[in-house]
Structure 1
């Protein structure tokens, strides 16, 4: 492998490496990015189609359109001329007709229905229960004098001018008012109209004609006695009204008046009026009208008569609606969704960013980059810049598209124009004027607010990613946040904004949640493009304290920087896939290099080592003593020094703690390959994870290249290579692109980088046949394994960890890979784990066998076989002559042990001190003359035999 510069890759070099890798990765995923950016257009198209389909269905119902009539017929019976208008309409159709001269309606009071006035009283039987008007004021005599003029005496209708006649009396109705006054429900329904008089004539009934559209209807009128009731204060009025509306005790109150400081020269009155009791603040439909004019007129007219006498009147002859054009019932999704639609579209980026960040943690892609020298700073910078670019492109497309959207039906966008050109839908009634919130508000203000918000949103995604380690969980929570915050903004936060009594500081507290800040911005932009405010928002409007935009801007900027700081802090101290976590107060520690331990090492650890040594084998104890001696030296040439490393996983669900590594001590020199053997669960991978910074040891210490593992892991990463147990690769990057990326992280540049990548690919047989430029996702398992080994060796790292590098390889590839590793170990230290005894014996200078987290033996393969292999293995296969074979073996070696017996084949272990090889050969030759020996063999103890013996 080509050597790299001895200097560590700079911040700029790391940033360049990650930027180039991400650029290639995103180019391969360009279709997904384009789909994301075009998502608002797709959503608009879907909503437009839904709206168009619904409106087409509504248009099919003639009852939902202005009525029409046929005038004259042709000879074939067809209609000669069709005329439409309010005079040809049913009552339900009249509201859709153009009304040039709206109907004039008498002004009414809102009177409680008869069932609510004094319930269970005898007056209910003949509908004679009175309706009450409450009054109070600073001058009771004046109040009582004015109140006596509230109601008229007798009523004499004038058929020539019915409105003039009705203006002389006080009329009321218990019907609910409508959203408009084109058609007064009191006169179009079966509910009677009441005349409020001080005294009703018994069994009084009256009917008068009412002209509605093209027909005349007789309207029944009943008399209701009006009572005036003095209250001592406005608080008493308020209590009476509240109790009457909520407790059902007495709901007979029509209105209430507080004359305050009124006198003969000053008329000052407060009016309480009735409205529907079940009105909801969460209702999106337009509010109903309130019958207030007659309430005001009653008080004004009564005061005027108090001053001038009964002959003076202030008439309120009628009320009427404004003229209107023809309308049709249609589904207006834009009005229905409002700011909710815009906030949902923008917030959709949050789960996308969050999922991408968590995916890199779950797949351990971030930690593998970190293990090869990528710092946290370059990673966060490039990732942040990419998501910011994606969000900016998303918002830019959304703004451009929104500026082209049609305004007749605010969601019938340019999409519909395209459809009409394709003759899919007819859209001749649309004109292209743009979406007001984009076109009328100053573009620079929109740019500033949306740019700051998307920065805040990206920052919050990074913050949320520090606490998630599972993509599915992060995706679910992200979408819940999107839809939940949008709904809360539309149906809760907006209500508080429009409630002047709601404390302003609580609004600011709610805006600390970014989604509410976004909703506030969208809401205020919408307020400045309402009909009658054609200017839109300008920079000078930020000084208007009523819109709160300046506060939101300052809040988002401050929160942006605070979130970035908190994100960096949590990323360092919370381990959720990003490597070993730091101490919560890491920023207070000195950044100077920690000195090597001296002879002042605590005596408690020495005592612990002595006690442990009494239980260890001599070779393991010697390794521990060597480590302790190396730690006392001021400098050492050893690449890795581990002192009493211990890792305990806390027990969960009532289980005991799990000891993964039990006080392992190891010294590894440069140019040495150390192999770790052991059964499954022995602690091999846990040791690799500790040494690569993936998990933190429970106790003990380790020095890598003289650097403390727990305090300077980032520095260790710059001189380390890792081949993990499971291949951590990007499926859309090629083998060459992987090596280019990791080579740049190891400070390789220019021709040296190209040469190193080429040599690496050739060494693992991935260079020829176009394999190097094939996506890693299309590699076989063996090819991925070879690529992982090449990645771990590129750039000449001083310490390399390989976790079962030969797994899944065919014999030829495995032998070639062994040669690569054997060649690479000349100038670096290698620690590898394996289950292949052949691999361990071929590659490793020394071996250590772990059992239950503890090192049971250590030494070269020859030393281990000599130490634990004190027997010859004799195998003999005969036909029904097992007893003779067994007698023969025991004659050669009385202490021989039979270890295997199956179908005539027996295997024996013969202690070496009891027998010579020549004696064995001679005994076999003699035995062949006495009985038939089908096969036999003599072998020395293998490494596999040693492993089994130690493991057992």
Structure 2
């Protein structure tokens, strides 16, 4: 059905994509301007956190830079002239200071075995009852041997080699204690450290061990050596080495781990010195696997540290093979192990790298609750659908909202990185800014897409906010205390780490963790941090994180849009799950075959309709068959049924409503609360879809063409849908732009709208809507519904809460507006209905009970006059006799202190007869006051509503 020859659209026409986008962008910028204090607080949080980190770092580094923590110095008279020169070095330092001294020639240390402590050495226990192990009682005396397991393909050869692993050979006496230790099998139960400048075995206070086949009871080998200006005395003990054959490598592996440090007492602890698998070794080849204890990493996270104990184990096996081939006198010496030279250093801590992964995860994700709350708030308050109802399409909304959040996020992150760099945090200054920009840019896009996706499942802003903050802090803590543990544990499968990083918070943490690792290493080593070439490092997870986040961004954004259309709360009627497969829809024609009255579930209802309601239904059916019409709104058998819940039957909110509304008419819907008026309005404005039936607005179907209908529609909802921080003028400017008003025309329309609803004088129009009274908000809502010259306007109780003067002024506005547009108005004010509405419909229990203008309804349903007379109490009987003579079917409806009211059926009484009877009565008794009134619209409403409700109860 086309628009016919009715009024054409104004010259401004529907707003284009860019006009809608411009309107939304301006509104968002205005919103941000009014929330400047909140924005400043948001930006200040990461700055405040960076300042705290810097302050802690400065205080601690200042403490570490004190002389007691620096390389020791002494004033030396090198020339003998009485003048001294300050000389610094290890020889002038305490053990606390040597770590900062330059070491051009690092000290040499003997290669040591990692010998189990006396209480950990393997013995027979409940979990390990092998007969060839010593009894656990040796742990009480501290004389347990250390066990060396061996296996191989050739047992004879393996046994021969194992016999040469530990020998009684001892070098000739030497004054160099460290050289002496290098020529035997020295060991320690002290854990190794990351740096080998000072071998902890010589400064821990624990004894050194020499592993021999047998130990003499009077073994005594004191060792002393010089380190800087200190002479260190070291006790050396002998420990017996016990080599035991096992049938296979799997048996060895099982025994190494069985009961290892899992018992509740020292007797249950089982620890092996080393294990050797000689594989297929023979006289022509030497193949070997060595087991060593990798748990001695001192909780530093450097898995290579235990390797400093491995050279001596390899040397043992190599010498055993050489002696097997060449005799006992042949051996390959391993002299010393030492570090590379080092320059002078400072003891310093970079807290931005230490705390950065956790704290910066919280900082970056702090935007997620802000974005999510904003999106859900607009849906919860129906502001999103309010914008759609005034012409804002999904395309402009998504483009501008996404660009808006992206701009805020970019400004936030740029301020964060710039400030962190300015104050000198190494986390920012050492790592490549290019990598940082790409990483943060991809993540904030992922975060925005994730917020849109998550917003589809929330309908309450407070719930969404709480959930978002729990996610932010929870993902940060789990990243620091779970993901980081798995990343640093090289035995944990890398595939599962990647699976965990699918969670956006974990991928953010992993990226920040990698940046922190490189900045920390660069800070301590005096090198640069992460560069693009480092993304190819085997242990660098940044590249995988970037790929994961990029893929998720590409997936999340279209998925969020899809769910917003088919499953989201507060964005209008949900579309079909396959809506994207539909081609561009053409404007549907309303040329239908004449509908049959025998519709599903409606035949009985139609038969019992009032004549005026039936005529309206027939008029609708006639209009549906016409090729064109001037009617703006046509509703055909519209129904809304809410499904039954908790054992209750289905609720019929609207029952087969049919209505035709031409341009220039204001139609009023009257009805008690719960009658279904607001449900009908909500179906017409796109807040809910009808259960059955059709409705057309300007020839467009509300089921399929709602987006097009919105461009020519205005709505004043029952509850004011306003932004609390925007002023009345800013609301009208926004909605005016959505209706394609521009330039001087826009300003003129806004000024006139404010004046028409009395929001112009005294600067009221520039006050924030949150500071308006209830009546002022209603007037602003009416002005919004009329701006831009919409062709169809819905007003749901527009004058609620208005004082009499404002109400009369509002009526004048609506009267002027209805001249060239169709208006549907719901109200509980009979006076308002009579003043504004060209036609009325009394709506009870989901259906019309009558239709017509006020006079017709009063004439049709107001079948009596109200006769009132006041006399003295003694003359009340005379009044009753007077009325009885006028009408035999009179009905007394009121009686109090001489005042009586009667209903006189119109068909039995003429008005002239009433006046004549009163004149005659005045001569017989005193009449203080009297009156004759026709039935009011309120009387009609009450009568019709009571009758309909009584009928529904009986039926």
Give TM-score, length-normalised by structure 2: 0.84
Is the contact between residue 157 and residue 166 of structure 1 (CA under 8 Å) also seen in structure 2?
no
Q: 1:305 aligns with which of 311, 318, 323?
A: 323
Paired position in structure 1 for 2:725: 732
Paired position in structure 2 for 1:593: 587
CA distance in 2, matches of 1:279, 1:394: 40
Is the contact between residue 719 and residue 799 of structure 1 (CA under 8 Å) also seen in structure 2?
yes
CA distance in 2, matches of 1:310, 1:486: 61
In structure 2, stretches of 5+ residues that fail to align are 1-6, 76-84, 126-134, 947-955
Q: 1:230 aligns with which of 225, 245, 249?
A: 245
Is the contact between residue 260 and residue 271 of structure 2 (CA under 8 Å) also seen in structure 1?
no
* Shift in Å, 1:237: 1.6
Paired position in structure 2 for 1:42: 48
After superposition, residues 730-809 of structure 1 pair within 5 angstroms as 730-809=723-802
Whether 2:399 is the aligned partner of 1:381: answer: yes
After superposition, residues 639-658 of structure 1 pair within 5 angstroms as 639-652=632-645, 655-658=648-651
Q: 1:165 aligns with which of 180, 198, 205?
A: 180
In structure 1, stretches of 5+ residues that fail to align are 72-80, 412-433
Whether 2:346 is the aligned partner of 1:352: answer: no
Paired position in structure 2 for 1:873: 866
CA distance in 1, matches of 2:8, 2:808: 22
Is the contact between residue 432 and residue 530 of structure 2 (CA under 8 Å) also seen in structure 1?
no
**1:888-935 Cα deviation digits (max 9, x unpaired):** 587355544444566776544333344455565677678888888776
CA distance in 2, matches of 1:698, 1:301: 91
CA distance in 2, matches of 1:885, 1:204: 143
Paired position in structure 1 for 2:80: none
Is the contact between residue 166 and residue 317 of structure 1 (CA under 8 Å) also seen in structure 2?
no
For the residue of structure 2 that corresponds to 1:679, the secondary structure is coil
* Shift in Å, 1:402: 4.1
Paired position in structure 2 for 1:947: 941
Q: 2:292 aligns with which of 273, 286, 291?
A: 273
**1:520-565 Cα deviation digits (max 9, x unpaired):** 5555656766447956666677778886766665665554444333
**1:17-71 Cα deviation digits (max 9, x unpaired):** 22333333333334444544454323211322344566678899x9x95799999
CA distance in 2, matches of 1:890, 1:68: 124
Greater CA drift, 668-677 or 634-643: 634-643
Whether 2:837 is the aligned partner of 1:819: answer: no
* Shift in Å, 1:758: 2.8
Is the contact between residue 99 and residue 325 of structure 1 (CA under 8 Å) also seen in structure 2?
yes
C-alpha change, 1:164 and 1:867, in structure 2 (3 Å) is same
Whether 2:270 is the aligned partner of 1:251: answer: yes
* Shift in Å, 1:830: 0.4
Q: 2:386 aligns with which of 353, 368, 372?
A: 368
* Shift in Å, 1:740: 2.6
Paired position in structure 2 for 1:418: none
Is the contact between residue 646 and residue 661 of structure 1 (CA under 8 Å) also seen in structure 2?
yes
For the residue of structure 1 that corresponds to 2:781, the secondary structure is helix
Greater CA drift, 102-111 or 537-546: 537-546
CA distance in 1, matches of 2:74, 2:511: 53
Is the contact between residue 385 and residue 571 of structure 2 (CA under 8 Å) also seen in structure 1?
yes
Is the contact between residue 528 and residue 534 of structure 1 (CA under 8 Å) also seen in structure 2?
no
Is the contact between residue 353 and residue 516 of structure 2 (CA under 8 Å) also seen in structure 1?
no
C-alpha change, 1:89 and 1:616, in structure 2 (3 Å) is farther
Whether 2:829 is the aligned partner of 1:836: answer: yes
Is the contact between residue 180 and residue 289 of structure 1 (CA under 8 Å) also seen in structure 2?
no
CA distance in 2, matches of 1:636, 1:573: 33
C-alpha change, 1:160 and 1:535, in structure 2 (3 Å) is closer
**1:749-793 Cα deviation digits (max 9, x unpaired):** 334333322322222223333333333333333222222111111
* Shift in Å, 1:172: 3.0
Whether 2:114 is the aligned partner of 1:110: answer: yes
After superposition, residues 411-430 of structure 1 pair within 5 angstroms as none
* Shift in Å, 1:513: 4.3
Paired position in structure 1 for 2:449: 459
C-alpha change, 1:224 and 1:758, in structure 2 (3 Å) is same
For the residue of structure 1 that corresponds to 2:141, the secondary structure is coil
After superposition, residues 82-93 of structure 1 pair within 5 angstroms as 93=96
Paired position in structure 1 for 2:611: 618
**1:334-362 Cα deviation digits (max 9, x unpaired):** 23234444444333333322222222222
C-alpha change, 1:245 and 1:614, in structure 2 (3 Å) is same
CA distance in 2, matches of 1:921, 1:945: 23
Q: How many residues align?
A: 911
* Shift in Å, 1:880: 6.4
C-alpha change, 1:330 and 1:528, in structure 2 (3 Å) is closer
C-alpha change, 1:605 and 1:543, in structure 2 (3 Å) is farther
Is the contact between residue 72 and residue 89 of structure 2 (CA under 8 Å) also seen in structure 1?
yes
CA distance in 1, matches of 2:171, 2:905: 136
Is the contact between residue 372 and residue 746 of structure 1 (CA under 8 Å) also seen in structure 2?
yes
For the residue of structure 2 that corresponds to 1:805, the secondary structure is coil
C-alpha change, 1:641 and 1:375, in structure 2 (3 Å) is same
CA distance in 1, matches of 2:209, 2:531: 52
Q: 1:19 aligns with which of 16, 21, 25?
A: 25
C-alpha change, 1:51 and 1:523, in structure 2 (3 Å) is closer
CA RMSD of aligned residues (A): 4.2
C-alpha change, 1:525 and 1:51, in structure 2 (3 Å) is closer
CA distance in 2, matches of 1:885, 1:223: 137
For the residue of structure 2 that corresponds to 1:748, the secondary structure is coil
Greater CA drift, 171-180 or 542-551: 542-551
* Shift in Å, 1:572: 1.7
For the residue of structure 2 that corresponds to 1:565, the secondary structure is helix
CA distance in 1, matches of 2:851, 2:316: 106
Paired position in structure 1 for 2:213: 198
Whether 2:416 is the aligned partner of 1:401: answer: no
Greater CA drift, 465-474 or 681-690: 465-474
Whether 2:407 is the aligned partner of 1:392: answer: no
Greater CA drift, 225-234 or 810-819: 225-234
* Shift in Å, 1:372: 0.9
C-alpha change, 1:535 and 1:67, in structure 2 (3 Å) is closer
CA distance in 2, matches of 1:895, 1:278: 109
**1:402-461 Cα deviation digits (max 9, x unpaired):** 443425xx37xxxxxxxxxxxxxxxxxxxxxx611145xxx3x55445434433332332
CA distance in 2, matches of 1:349, 1:757: 35
* Shift in Å, 1:821: 0.4
Whether 2:652 is the aligned partner of 1:659: answer: yes
Greater CA drift, 4-13 or 843-852: 4-13
CA distance in 2, matches of 1:304, 1:659: 98
Is the contact between residue 446 and residue 553 of structure 2 (CA under 8 Å) also seen in structure 1?
yes
Paired position in structure 2 for 1:414: none
CA distance in 2, matches of 1:669, 1:333: 73
* Shift in Å, 1:811: 1.0
Paired position in structure 1 for 2:673: 680
Is the contact between residue 102 and residue 345 of structure 2 (CA under 8 Å) also seen in structure 1?
no
* Shift in Å, 1:800: 0.3
CA distance in 1, matches of 2:302, 2:839: 77
**1:623-653 Cα deviation digits (max 9, x unpaired):** 2232223223333221111122222233455
* Shift in Å, 1:799: 0.7
**1:854-892 Cα deviation digits (max 9, x unpaired):** 322222111222222222334556776697488558735
Is the contact between residue 38 and residue 397 of structure 1 (CA under 8 Å) also seen in structure 2?
no
CA distance in 2, matches of 1:67, 1:881: 122
For the residue of structure 2 that corresponds to 1:668, the secondary structure is strand
For the residue of structure 1 that corresponds to 2:725, the secondary structure is coil
Is the contact between residue 346 and residue 395 of structure 1 (CA under 8 Å) also seen in structure 2?
yes
For the residue of structure 1 that corresponds to 2:569, the secondary structure is coil
C-alpha change, 1:285 and 1:164, in structure 2 (3 Å) is closer
**1:192-230 Cα deviation digits (max 9, x unpaired):** 444322123358676655778876676554433211112
C-alpha change, 1:87 and 1:473, in structure 2 (3 Å) is farther
